[in-house]
Amino acid sequence: MNQVSRMDRIHQAKNSSESKTIPAWITFLLAASCGLIVANLYYAQTLIGPIAAATHLSSGAAGLIVTLTQIGYVLGLIFVVPLSDIIENRRLTVISLSVVVVALVAATLASNAALFLGASLFIGLGSVAAQVLVPYASFLAAEEHRGRVVGNVMSGLLLGIMFARPLASFVSGLWGWHAIYAISAVVIALLTILLSRVLPQRQPVPAMNYGGLIRSLGTLLKNTPVLRRRAIYQASLFGTFSLFWTTVSLRLADTYHLSQQGIALFALAGVAGAIASPVAGRWADRGWTRPLTGLAFMLAAVAFLIAYLFQNDSRVTLGLLTLAAILLDMGVSGNLVLGQRAIYSLGNEARGRLNGLFMAIFFVGGAIGSSLGGWSYAYGGWGMTTLIGLAVPVLAFLYYLTETKQA
């Protein structure tokens, strides 16, 4: 009898493992979807100059173009993403993407700062659909493959972030800055229809109502030291990432006199940094999360040190600035996967809320970085901007040294 029971348990475990195997096409679809969705947060980064001119924003206020998008994203992470723990995930994704489509149409038609900034806020709010899909993929994956699956999906998301900048510059050079928002509105509308038809349903079993979910966020943050630490790590890196990419297009135009096509090529080079994402996911599965985290901070610090030390307008310096962009993107993208794998391992029932808190905290860092970058470049130039960018990962590395094996 005991032998039969044991065989039954083995059979059930095998079936459970098989049921957690994600088809390759679902992984690819989720990765591509996340990339297309999150790209909307970054189109403006290399278009700050022409958008500010068209909407009559001052150079000091230009950082608001990116900052408000990120604030909208943070609001969505806090108030929308937790719904993925109680609402069917496919339906929540479709509703969120519908908001993005309307906001993109508004941005396309915007002729003044108020309308464009308002549209930016709602683009960020609806784009949290990507952060419904990432933990959705993690839910489908078996524990032993979770780092790989999250790494692959995050590769798509990060490629979307990195391709958004060169694509926006290239399209703007051909048809003006409005065109990228019009194109994205069509793409996201088609994606919404596709996801509504092909994604498997995932209906969570609610443990509490929406009010309880929101109230539980503070408790989760207080009682989950891994979440707090990983969120602070990524907020530090993403703050420097946003500071760099909010200001570097202005630097490239002012110092190197690059056109939008030239800025597009520079931003395209940064895409190479996305290779760190799947590699970090695989190495995290082998237990290398802690040393890789330290490496991420060092890459970011070296990137800004290069940018600070070499500031003339030569071709060599431009090449070194490109290298700095790649190193920075590698550090940020690799550490993001490490952090998400760590918090997704904390349990299924609160995964949406854990992910929402993690992303919200580090996007607050991004919003601060964007705003600070616009201010520092306007009043202290590239030198002040890069010194701030250097100081943040150094301070974060010192905090990282206080981590214990249990943290």
Return the percentage of the chain with pLDDT > 90, whole number.
44
pLDDT confidence of 158, banded at 50, 70, 90? Answer: confident
Average pLDDT over residues 10-36: 68
Q: In 3D, which of 42, 5, 57 has the Cα closest to residue 378?
A: 57
Q: How far is CA 242 from CA 49, 64, 204, in A?
A: 16, 12, 34
Measured in whole angstroms, the distance separating CA 349 from the mean position of its chain's CA atoms is: 23
Average pLDDT value for the chain: 85
Instruction: Return the number of other C-beta atoms located less than 10 Å from residue 405's C-beta.
Output: 5
Of residues 187 and 350, more confidence is placed in 187
Average pLDDT over residues 216-231: 91
For residue 145, what pLDDT is reported?
66
Q: Is 141 exposed, middle or buried (0-12, 13-18, 19+ CB in 10 A)?
A: buried
Average pLDDT over residues 8-16: 40
Of residues 184 and 341, more confidence is placed in 184
Question: Under a CB-based contact definition with an 8 Å cutoff, are residues 272 and 326 in contact?
Answer: yes
pTM of the model: 0.76
Residue 173 has pLDDT above 60, yes or no: yes
Q: Which CATH number fits domain 25-400: 3.40.120.10, 1.20.1250.20, 3.20.20.210, 3.40.50.620?
A: 1.20.1250.20
For residue 180, what pLDDT is reported?
96
For residue 382, what pLDDT is reported?
95
Please state, in angstroms and rounded to a whole number, the distance separating the CA atoms of residues 355 and 342.
Answer: 10
Residue 19 has pLDDT above 70, yes or no: no
Of residues 60 and 6, more confidence is placed in 60
Find the range with the poorest average confidence among 186-195, 206-215, 278-287, 343-352: 343-352
Give per-residue pLDDT as tens, 247-260: 998 899 899 998 88
User: Which of the residue ranges 123-137, 278-292, 342-356 has the most confident prediction, judged by mean pLDDT?
Assistant: 123-137
Domain boundaries, the chain: 25-400
Average pLDDT over residues 384-401: 96
For residue 322, what pLDDT is reported?
94
Question: Under a CB-based contact definition with an 8 Å cutoff, are residues 53 and 116 in contact?
Answer: no
Residue 166 has pLDDT above 60, yes or no: yes
